[in-house]
């Protein structure tokens, strides 16, 4: 039987964000310690793979949730954060947690993604300053609210998105994550299409392009340009972005900071939507995982980003906030 305090941590861990709600984690309680591991089966493994950047971001977010909840509930113990194979965390509580219920109103349980239009009102200087104090092991949260810089990042996201829509493996993965009906949504995974702000006829368009053979034909007349343009418009219209910046090899720490920043942004009354497409394409370029016909576009995108932010600054995650 799992003690109530450990169940509280597990439930909070399940609230972490993951690539298109794929939830690639596994919790184990052996009577003494709680272990967090990567679940390597399922479609997410085929796209992101073991020990990938996306996996480590996700596991970092899960760890952050568990640490915050344990601290809030007064659960002391031994923390082992050393990665061992697919294991990312082992927590051994110092005392029995059978009577600990925990606060289910904690921000971990209310964090969510908002994919709709944000108010154009600027974010207060006090909020910006508070968010920019957040850091984790060499990673930092950078608030970008000048219109030219927001526009520049929106254009990079547009270019990265255009690459993704021409990558068969990523496109088919995206199609597998979409949930159109209440019954599909009730499965508890994937991306509920009703939570996306689509133009008129947008749902039908998504269904139309899910077949790669059809998408490939449509791309010949510029469909990828249309779709990537729609995606980048949400960025351009937002009052600010938050970039989780850090060394390229600091993805686990970046995941912890990503979740901490997201929670703090919502505490400050901000809505947030993550955009992973730019870091994803840059990671795939670095790992040689881009199709040959997209590699030069990826290299140019990397050069353009490095020219502004430096060779050692990597955008582990981007959020639009407002």
Q: What is the pLDDT of residue 227?
A: 93
* 29 bridge partner residues: 34
* 179 bridge partner residues: 192
Please answer whether residues 262 and 242 qualify as being in contact, where contact means their C-beta atoms are separated by less than 8 angstroms. Answer: no
Q: Are 94 and 148 within one domain? A: no
Q: What is the pLDDT of residue 242?
A: 98
Q: What is the pLDDT of residue 16?
A: 96
pLDDT in tens, 93-149: 987 777 788 888 999 999 999 999 999 999 999 999 999 999 999 999 999 999 999
How many CB atoms are closer than 10 A to CB 175? 15
What is the mean predicted confidence (pLDDT) over 200-217? 93
Q: For 139, what's the count of Cα atoms within 13 Å in the CB-facing half-sphere? A: 29
> By mean pLDDT, which of 1-5, 42-46, 108-112 is the weakest?
42-46
Q: What is the pLDDT of residue 44?
A: 55
* Any domain includes 204: no
Q: Are 273 and 141 within one domain? A: yes
DSSP 122: P
Q: Are 12 and 66 within one domain? A: yes
Burial 48-73 (b: 16+ CB within 10 A, else e): beeebbbbbbbbbbbbbbbbbbbeeb
Q: Which residues contact 212 (CB under 8 A, 6 or more apart)?
A: 168, 171, 172
Q: What is the pLDDT of residue 211?
A: 94
DSSP 44: H
Q: Are 147 and 61 within one domain? A: no
> How far apart are the C-alpha atoms of 211 and 168, rounded to whole Å?
10
Nearest partner of 15 among 100, 105, 95, 86, judged by Cα: 105
Q: Is the pLDDT of residue 45 over 70?
A: no
* Any domain includes 84: yes
Q: What is the pLDDT of residue 165?
A: 96
* Any domain includes 207: no
- Give percent above pLDDT 90 in the chain: 79
> How far apart are the C-alpha atoms of 205 and 208, rounded to whole Å?
5
Q: Supply the CATH number for residue 307's domain.
A: 3.40.109.10
Q: In this structure, are strands 314-321 and 240-246 parallel, antiparallel, or unpaired?
A: antiparallel
pLDDT in tens, 145-162: 999 999 999 999 999 999
Q: Are 101 and 136 within one domain? A: no
| Residue 1: pLDDT band with limits 50, 70, 90 | confident
Q: Are 19 and 101 within one domain? A: yes
Q: What is the pLDDT of residue 39?
A: 84
Residue with tokens 């927001």: 150
Q: Tell me how many domains the chain contains.
A: 2
Q: Is the pLDDT of residue 319 over 90?
A: yes
Which tokens belong to 21? 């709600």
pLDDT in tens, 229-261: 989 998 999 999 999 999 999 999 999 999 999
* Any domain includes 135: yes
* 78 bridge partner residues: 92
The rounded mean pLDDT for the chain is 92
* Any domain includes 188: no
pLDDT in tens, 72-98: 999 999 999 988 888 999 999 987 777
| Residue 43: pLDDT band with limits 50, 70, 90 | low
What is the mean predicted confidence (pLDDT) over 171-175? 89
Please answer whether residues 22 and 189 qualify as being in contact, where contact means their C-beta atoms are separated by less than 8 angstroms. Answer: yes
pLDDT in tens, 285-302: 999 999 999 999 999 999
Q: Are 140 and 226 within one domain? A: yes
Q: In this structure, are strands 191-192 and 178-179 parallel, antiparallel, or unpaired?
A: parallel
């Amino acid at each position: 039987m799992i003690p109530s305090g450990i169940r509280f941590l597990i439930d909070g861990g399940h609230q972490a964000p993951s690539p298109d709600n794929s939830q690639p984690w596994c919790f184990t309680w052996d009577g003494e310690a709680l272990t967090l591991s990567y679940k390597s089966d399922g479609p997410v493994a085929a796209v992101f793979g073991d020990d990938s950047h996306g996996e480590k971001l996700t596991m970092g977010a899960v760890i952050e949730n568990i640490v915050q909840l344990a601290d809030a509930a007064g659960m002391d113990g031994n923390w082992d954060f050393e990665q061992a194979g697919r294991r990312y965390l082992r927590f051994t509580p110092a005392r029995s947690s059978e009577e600990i219920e925990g606060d289910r109103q904690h921000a971990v349980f209310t964090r969510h993604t908002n994919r709709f239009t944000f108010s154009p009102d600027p974010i207060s200087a006090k909020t910006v300053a508070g968010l920019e104090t957040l850091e984790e092991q060499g990673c930092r949260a950078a608030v970008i609210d000048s219109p030219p810089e927001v526009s520049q990042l929106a254009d990079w996201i547009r270019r990265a998105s255009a690459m993704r829509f021409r990558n068969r493996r990523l496109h088919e993965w995206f199609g597998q994550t979409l949930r159109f009906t209440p019954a599909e949504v009730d499965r508890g995974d994937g991306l509920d299409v009703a939570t996306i702000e689509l133009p008129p006829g947008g749902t039908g368009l998504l269904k139309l392009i899910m077949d790669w053979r059809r998408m490939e034909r449509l791309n010949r007349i510029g469909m990828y340009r249309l779709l990537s343009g729609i995606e980048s418009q949400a960025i351009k219209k937002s009052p600010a972005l938050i970039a989780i910046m850090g060394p390229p090899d600091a993805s686990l720490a970046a995941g912890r900071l990503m979740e901490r920043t997201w929670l703090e942004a919502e505490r400050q009354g901000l809505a947030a939507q993550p955009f992973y497409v730019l870091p994803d394409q840059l990671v795939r370029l670095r790992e040689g995982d881009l199709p040959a016909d997209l590699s030069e576009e990826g290299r140019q995108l990397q050069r353009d980003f490095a020219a502004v932010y430096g060779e050692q600054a990597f955008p582990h995650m981007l959020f639009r906030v407002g």
